[in-house]
Amino acid sequence: MKAWRIDAPFTAEQVRNLRLWQQNDNVHPFTCCDHQTLVVTKAGFKCPKCKTLQTWCHAFMAEPQPLKVDLFVILFDGQFITPKLLKKIWTNYGSAGNTLQGWRPPKKVYYSLAVAKAQMRWIAKYAPQEFVELVQIHRFASVEVVK
């Protein structure tokens, strides 16, 4: 029967896999009593502030796992934002269009959630409210990547 847990020291491959688990937004990471996320090392899970050291983890966490990546798009009034649509927006939104001419979405159509949120913060800061209300982040797809 396979053990339900493993103890440090962890191998280099286990450290890589455990770091993916600690960074996975779909699960709660190991934390210390001060709610700091523990950092994975060969010696175990360490807190960078209080020096807590956890020397074990669930065995399945150290196994190679498919990594699920969510891809997001930014939509304007339900449409993908393309250079052609941007030109139309600049024409139709007068002063808002002038404000938005400084915005250049990255060349990629799909974004990580962090990049999509950064784009939305820029729009919210510089665009008028009636424009901002038409812009939304949409989860486009989830893709499994096996390392």
Q: Please state the domain count of the chain.
A: 2
57 in the same domain as 79: no
pLDDT tens digits for range 88-111 = 666 666 555 555 555 555 455 566
- As averages over each run of 10 residues, the pLDDT of the chain (147 residues) reads 87 92 81 91 95 92 74 73 66 57 54 73 74 76 60
2-41: b or e for each residue (b if 16 or more CB lie within 10 Å)?
A: eeeebebebeeebbebbeebbeeeeeebbebeeeeebebe
Distance CA(119)–CA(122), nearest Å, equals: 5
Average pLDDT value over all residues in the chain: 77
118 in the same domain as 137: yes
137 in the same domain as 88: yes
- Residue 107 makes CB contacts below 8 A (sequence gap 6+) with none
Pairing, β 44-46 against β 53-54: antiparallel
The pTM is what?
Answer: 0.48
46 in the same domain as 12: yes
pLDDT computed for residue 133 by the predictor: 81
141 in the same domain as 76: yes
95 in the same domain as 56: no
Write out the H or E segment, with its range, that includes residue 44: strand 44-46
Structural domain that includes position 92:
68-145
137 in the same domain as 75: yes
Q: What is the DSSP letter of 112?
A: -
